[in-house]
Amino acid sequence: MMRYLKGVSTLAFDREKCTGCMRCVEVCPHRVFKADGKKAAVTDKDLCMECGACERNCAFGAIKVGAGVGCASALINGMLTGSDPVCGCSTDDSGCC
């Protein structure tokens, strides 16, 4: 499995708040979470692409991640225009998405 840069993901998991519903295990497309006994656990944080699916589907606030588009052209456009980086898919024909 391909991994992106080491140690950059902002994923934070609070095991205390976890109730073991395993929704994060279900929804993560990179298998960052696994069932560990009655609670979830992080397998390898470097697999995380910060899509934010886990945080949004955690009803107990146990997961925090600085989700956003991992897209260089969106970030560069954001830098140039001083706006928030948005994926350009719907506005122009840039290569994003």
Partner 1 sequence: MKIRYKKPTGCCEGPKDPTSAGSCSSPAASAGSKEPTAATSCCAPIDAPVSKTSCPQPSRTELPKEIKKTDCCQPPQTKLEAEVKKTGCCTPSDQGRPARYKTVSTHLSFSDRLRHIRCRLGAFRLSYKINPGLYAVGRPSDASEVFISANYGLSFDILRSSLAGSDAWILVLDTKGINVWCAAGKGTFGTDEIIRQIGLAGLGKVVTHRRIIVPQLGGPGVSGHEVRRATGFKVVYGPVKASDIKAFVDAGYNATEEMRTIRFNLADRIVLTPMEIRPALKNYALFSLLALITVSITPEGLSYQAAWTYGSRLVMLGGLAVVSGAFITPALLPYIPSRSFAVKGFLTGLATTIPALWLTGWAEILHPMLTFFSMIFFPLASSYIALQFTGSSTYTGISGVKKELRYGVPVYITGAVVSIVAVAAYKLFEWGIL
Q: Which residues bind partner 1 (CB under 8 A)?
A: 1-6, 8-10, 23, 26-31, 47-54, 56-57, 59, 66-76, 79, 85-90, 93-97
CA 12 to chain centre: 10
- What's the min distance (Å) between Cβ of 30 and partner 1? 7
Q: Which CB, 20 or 88, lies closer to partner 1?
A: 88
Nearest to 51 by CA among 68, 37, 64, 35: 68
Q: Which CB, 14 or 19, lies closer to partner 1?
A: 19
- What's the min distance (Å) between Cβ of 8 and partner 1? 4
Amino acid at 49: M
Residues in CB range of 92: below 8 A, 6 or more apart: none
Q: Which CB, 39 or 87, lies closer to partner 1?
A: 87
Q: Which CB, 15 or 56, lies closer to partner 1?
A: 56
39-42/33-36 β-pairing: antiparallel
CA 19 – CA 36 distance, rounded (Å):
12
